Amino acid sequence: MRLILTGFLILWGSSILLAQQKIHSQKWYENIHIGGYMQVRYNSLFETNPNLNCEQCDENWGEDGGGLSFRRLRFKIKGQISPRVFFYFQPDFAKSIGEAHHVGRLKDAYIDVGIDKNNEFRIRIGQSKVPYGFENMQSSSNRIPLDRNDALNSAVKDERDLGVFFYWATKEKRKLIKKLKKAGLSGGDFGLFALGFYNGQTANHFDENDEFHLVTRFSYPIELGNQVIEPGIQAYSGKYVVTEHNPNINVNAEGYLDQRAALSFVLYPKPFGIQAEYNFGRGPEFDKAMNTIEVKPLQGGYATFSYFIEKWNQQFYPFVRLQYYDGGKKHELDARSYTVRDTEIGIEWHPLPHFEFLVEYTFSDRRYEDSENPINHQKGRLLRIQAQLKF
């Protein structure tokens, strides 16, 4: 009996030792993963008003666009290179700078440093998404409507900035977030609580006034049977320096007050889904009566209703989105003044693994005015289509 017990202990100890040796012998580069996605669009089908466009949505929407275009062409390189260190790098090759098209530009470059062994407490350092707005933080490869809503996306162009952010989430909730991400319902792990600071001039721009923006967010996903809901609240504050303006307009070099708060609610589509957010605050906005830029109130939000259908080994997501925004867009010329009322109806179709096709009909009513175009109210309809490869 002793011999049997001794043999068992030796075998058990040897297996543990071999497992530990395997872990320690694993090289950091063996944990690196490569992925990405490509989106090809056509925006001009059944277009009723070529003067209608949306600079922040898609630069190929309207008279300056036309034809097929790349909306996104991205590669992701990421990896948990040690138990407490994670890195993420993502460039995009679909941007235009002047007459040069498909120019490479940095989107994400950050590291996560775990404070505890389970990485429930993390510090994120680098250029990454600012934790403000649920839709802002979701990957464009996962979002159903073609573009992010104007109301919350006007807070942070490209959703990113260079900063330092603290994230916290329990081990159990991180498993739920990972499960939602694997199902294609969520775009990433941004914790339950976030607190941080960032430059405030949006991605790939230097700080202009030596003052950080501060941001915080709290959300809590809850499982209710087969369904998952996630309410959230977030806010940020800072001063934004308007850099895009006509020379005949005097601007405050120290920046304009830039403050917002928002509420979020998500019912993940299992099968019926609701995603709604609303924000309000103050920020720089063009004043055509005074031909200047002033700090003004802003507000707006959206609601997206979707349904998940699985048939013939394929997936379908019909959806409707309503959105409204009244306020300035600080990163556009003269902090352009907006009033937006849009309705989008469409369907996303997954006929094959890694391939998606989306058709969206847009009803748009937009007033957007600056010093070059102080009276500008456009209405129109158009059918937009997109093919996406995701890997």
Each residue of 55-107: pLDDT tens digit?
Answer: 989 988 887 667 899 999 999 999 999 999 999 999 999 987 777 788 889 99
Longest dimension (CA), the chain: 96
Alpha-carbon 25 to chain mean position? 37
Provide CB contacts within 8 A for 346, sequence distance 6+. 144, 145, 146, 318, 319, 358, 359, 360, 361
Among the ranges given (139-153, 178-192, 336-350), the one the predictor scored with the smallest mean pLDDT: 178-192
- Average pLDDT of 340-351? 98
271 neighbors 307 (Cβ within 8 angstroms): yes
Q: Token pair of 243, please?
A: 């850099």
189 neighbors 178 (Cβ within 8 angstroms): yes
329 neighbors 338 (Cβ within 8 angstroms): yes
Write out pLDDT tens, residues 110-144.
999 999 999 999 999 999 999 999 999 999 998 99
Integer Cα distance of 133 and 154 in angstroms: 11
Residue 130, CB half-sphere, CA atoms under 13 Å: how many? 30
Q: Indicate whether 266 pLDDT > 60.
A: yes
Distances in whole angstroms, Cα of residue 62 to Cα of each of 20, 46, 305, 345: 59, 12, 26, 19
Integer Cα distance of 325 and 280 in angstroms: 10
- Percentage of the chain modeled with pLDDT above 70: 93
- Average pLDDT of 344-353? 97
Write out pLDDT tens, residues 253-265.
899 999 999 999 9
Q: Indicate whether 41 pLDDT > 70.
A: yes
Q: What is the pLDDT of residue 95?
A: 82
Q: Indicate whether 17 pLDDT > 70.
A: no
Write out pLDDT tens, residues 191-201.
999 999 999 99
- Average pLDDT of 295-320? 97
Integer Cα distance of 130 and 235 in angstroms: 11
Q: What is the pLDDT of residue 103?
A: 86
Q: What is the pLDDT of residue 66?
A: 74
CATH superfamily, domain at 30-390: Porin (2.40.160.10)
Q: What is the mean pLDDT of the chain?
A: 91
Closest by CA to 180, choosing from 221, 234, 232, is: 221
Q: What is the pLDDT of residue 60?
A: 87
Q: Quick one: pLDDT band at residue 10, thresholds 50, 70, 90? A: very low
- Percentage of the chain modeled with pLDDT above 90: 79
Among the ranges given (21-35, 57-71, 198-212), the one the predictor scored with the smallest mean pLDDT: 21-35
Q: Indicate whether 29 pLDDT > 90.
A: no
Integer Cα distance of 116 and 138 in angstroms: 26
Q: Indicate whether 25 pLDDT > 90.
A: no
Q: What is the pLDDT of residue 24?
A: 53
Distances in whole angstroms, Cα of residue 28 to Cα of each of 18, 83, 115, 121: 19, 10, 19, 22
